Amino acid sequence: MAFEAAFSAAVALAQASSGRARIDALYVLSVSKRTGRFIEDLTGMLGFEPVLVPEKVESWYREQGEAMLRSVVERSQEARCEAKAIWDQGAVLERVMNHAAAADLVVAGVGEDGVVALSGQGECTSDRFLKHCGTTAMMVPVESIKFEGICLGYDGSDGANAALRSSRNLAQLMNCPVHVVCVNDSRQLKSTDPLTTAESFLKEAGIVVTTVRLSGEVHEVLQSECQARNLDLVAVGYRGRSGLPGRVLGRVTESLVNESGTALLVSR
């Protein structure tokens, strides 16, 4: 379910790009057969990925992965989207992030249990995934995104400006409005209102924009605004050192992705 929702979002974006985007489908095999060389087998013997398994087990997972990749490429082509199958082997999260570094956008499905459904046999929590991801990521819950509108959390910071640019590009691509929310919580009150900058930047691109300035917890305010306005994607910026800040990042992803079923775009 989580994969299907993520795949649906990737196809919608690729279709809207009119041939300018490609879907890279990645499968990482996190198991390996024994090589017989102690040093090479040591990490797998200790339980680290890729985990050592009998040759028949590795072959089964390999065949499953190859079949999945073929299916994704075929379905993408049926939807008139360019697609490329990428196969890798090793520690799933590490290999996914290695390939993500070369991508413009990572689209990942998040299950009802709150974990990211990674290709292969691995999984991790959404906040851990985002902390390791060096590029912009779209976290897609079980429900598919219809791109009816973007709720942008904006405070004028560097991370927020990255989210502003991503929101503008996405809104132009999907022809959807942007609702800009400036949240002044108890930890970081600002004397200036950054909404004018965001509104001007978006309107220059012909995007329909609404703005509001509110107080409260970031994740609670964004979730409330998203639900009240029937928007299905929240956009925020990652702030490197401290997350959104760091103590908020986990709550944002857990609340917006896992609980409310809202998709989340985290920009770098």
Confidence (pLDDT) at 73: 97
Q: pLDDT tens-digit profile of 191-232?
A: 567 899 999 999 999 999 999 999 888 888 898 998 899 999
CA 108/CA 131 separation, integer angstroms: 14
50 cis-preceded (ω within 30 degrees of 0): yes
The pLDDT assigned to 218 comes to 83
**Residue 243 confidence (pLDDT):** 42
Predicted confidence band at 141 (pLDDT cuts at 50, 70, 90)?
confident
The domains located in the chain, with CATH, are: 2-140 (3.40.50.620), 150-267 (3.40.50.620)
Note the pLDDT tens digit of each residue in 155-201.
888 889 999 999 999 999 999 999 999 987 555 555 567 899 999 99
> Which pTM was predicted?
0.87
- Taking only the tens place, the pLDDT of each residue in 50-93 is 677 788 988 999 999 999 999 999 999 999 999 999 999 888 88
Greatest mean pLDDT range, 1-10, 90-99, 145-154, 240-249? 145-154
User: Per-residue DSSP letters for 130-161?
Assistant: HHH--S-EEEE-SSPP----EEEE--SSHHHH
Q: What is the DSSP string of 207-228?
A: --EEEEEEES-HHHHHHHHHHH
